[in-house]
Amino acid sequence: MQWCHDRPSAAVVWAAMGFVFVAGCSPALDWRTARFEAAPVEATLPCKPERATREVPLRGPQQPPVALHMLSCQAAGRTFAVAAVRLPDASAAGAAAASTPPMDWIETWQRASWATLRVDAGAAPAPAGWQAVPCALRDAAWSRCWRGSGQAPDGQPVAAELHWASNGRWLVQMALYGPSLPPEAHALFFGGVALR
């Protein structure tokens, strides 16, 4: 599956996959609140984010692509990224159906994210060594979160944690990558993302 059709910058390419390995941000953690312009999502990030929107085939190769809105930055050797996509209108569905995003979208996004880290789940729910972790996003009705390891674009080992959450209208991914996942940055970043 081809996700990127051009190469405007390394950050945009990786963000469209759910992975953003941005080069050249401040090494210090300078936390601030950032908001998407086109999605009701806010995030707490330790550096000034790069913003991008890309069309990605989350609905499958035979369906029109959807707009994926992204914020990402790198600080202290770690990459912090948040991406959001608008889900189909579920107003005609029941409450339970409306609170759960289309699972094929989730599976496509997960597998693309793992493939970018050069790991493969095969027929399993997750790649070997990846574990489900507890998580919650403010104002979300559904969430799924994984932690594991893979390879950065330069081939170096990288630890990663990937969260997906939805309120039935938007599907959000939060991703943290680096040589390790420090508890303080982990708590501030994942605890600072919210659906508005």
Whether pTM > 0.75 for this model: the answer is yes
Q: Burial, 110: exposed, middle or buried (Cβ in 10 Å; 0-12, 13-18, 19+)?
A: buried
Is the confidence at residue 6, as pLDDT, over 80? no
pLDDT of residue 90: 57
109-159: per-residue pLDDT in tens?
999 999 999 999 988 889 999 999 998 887 888 899 999 999 998 899 999
pLDDT of residue 26: 40
pLDDT of residue 58: 86
pLDDT of residue 100: 60
Identify how many contiguous H helices and E strands the chain contains and give both numbers.
4, 10
Dig out the tokens for 159 from the structure.
């630890």
Q: Where is pLDDT greater, at 34 or 29?
A: 34
Is the confidence at residue 12, as pLDDT, over 70? no
Tell me how many degrees the CA angle 60-42-184 measures, rounded to the nearest 5: 105
